[in-house]
Amino acid sequence: MAKEQAAKAAKPGKKEKGARKGGAGKVLFVLMIFLVTIWSTACLIVPGMMPTLVALITDKDREKALALTVGATNFAGCLPFVLQLWSMGQNFDNAMKLMRDPLTWLVMLASAGVGYVIYIIVPDIVATFMAGSASGKIARLQKNLEELQRVWGPDVATDKQFDALGDIQG
């Protein structure tokens, strides 16, 4: 397997892709080691963070704004049960005990839902607010332009060149 991966990585044109895959593999490997180490916590957090994983996969945005938004609230929703598990003692029975409680699922998934709601509502609010603000600014700037024309005449808006006597050149 390692040989195959090494051979793929050595192929011309696929070097970068291979390096990326290799990096991700390392992260996945470390994560798996970590989850194995705290496998009872993982049994709780992996299913709880499933909406984030879905958002990560479905979000086509380059900045991954959806995943970041849902992930933040989703994690905040999972954290209380992780802490509860740790206080009860990290073992599979306790994890299952928490998993069998519907409230746990409700809180973890609802927190992800809050993230989705924020992601859906806030951009529209921001855009609407900015449009309203722009109208006010435009009105103010238009007044400035009118004042400039009043003081300097209509030619302030042109690129006409004038000679020393104020006649248009060319």
Which residues contact another protein (rule: CB under 8 A)? 61, 63, 65, 68-70, 72-73, 75-77, 79-80, 83, 87, 111, 114-115, 118-119, 121-128, 130-131, 134-135, 137-138, 141-142, 144-145, 148, 150-153, 155-157, 159, 162, 164-167
Nearer residue to another protein within complex by CB, 106 or 121: 121
Which residues share a beta bridge with 162? 168
Query: How far apart (Å, rounded) are the C-alpha atoms in residues 125 and 116?
Result: 15
Nearest-approach distance from CB 119 to another protein, in angstroms:
5
In the bound state with another protein, the residue whose beta carbon lies nearer, of 33 and 125, is 125
| CB 16, CB 34: distance < 8 Å | no
The Cα 35–Cα 93 span in angstroms is: 16
> What residue has token string 């938004």?
69
- Provide, rounded to whole angstroms, the least separation between the CB of residue 134 and another protein: 4
Closest contact distance (angstroms) between CB of 147 and another protein is 10
Q: Which residues are CB-neighbours of 3 under 8 A, at least 6 positions away?
A: none
Q: In sequence order, what are the residues at sequence separation of 6 or more whose Cβ sits closer than 8 angstroms to the Cβ of residue 116?
A: 51, 55, 66, 69, 70
> What is the closest distance, in whole angstroms, from the C-beta atom of residue 103 to another protein in the complex?
15
CB of 143 vs another protein, minimal distance in Å: 10
Tokens of 55: 């958002």
Q: How many residues does the chain have?
A: 170
